Amino acid sequence: MHQIIYMSHAVAPLTSTQLYQLLALARQRNTKSAITGILLYGNERFVQVLEGEKEAVQDLYERIKHDARHQHVTAYADKAISKRMFTEWAMAFQFSGPKQAAASTGYLGAAETAAEVLGIQSIDASLLAVLRDFTLP
């Protein structure tokens, strides 16, 4: 298994409709490629965790880097992992607002992303805490 975590800046703010369209396409493609993860969007920034077979994850990341909807794509992790953190989601998603997020299919709240629940290493727990704080008030 392999994992890439990156952040990027949206070229322009995305509407809820655009985000749902992006999410629907990502879930469809990720299911075919056996990629799981989470997508966070807030303050015109994206943070995403991608996990799956190394070649599939790296191919997807290359496509993402060239997507015209965002810029300044920066990887914060690109590594082998022993197991997936997001086993149930072709792409979990979180809005920037907690009320909107709670109503979203695939929403992951703070309690569900706690390091002890996911069983991840301490360095990854610190990074995951940053990801959680990215969109939560």
**Which domain, by its residues, includes 72?**
2-135
Q: What is the DSSP string of 97-128?
A: SHHHHHTSTT---GGGG-HHHHT--HHHHHHH
For residue 61, the model assigns a pLDDT of 96
| pLDDT given at position 26 | 85
pLDDT at residue 102, as a whole number: 44
Q: What is the CATH number of the domain that holds 28?
A: 3.30.70.100
Task: Please report where in the chains the tokens 């969109």 appear, as a residue.
Answer: 135
Q: Output the six-digit token pair for 96.
A: 């920037």
* Number of compact structural domains in the chain: 1
CA dist 102 and 112 (Å) reads 12
Taking the chain (137 residues) in runs of 10, the rounded mean pLDDT of each run is 91 87 86 88 84 96 94 91 79 51 44 42 56 50
- Residue 7 is predicted with a pLDDT of 87
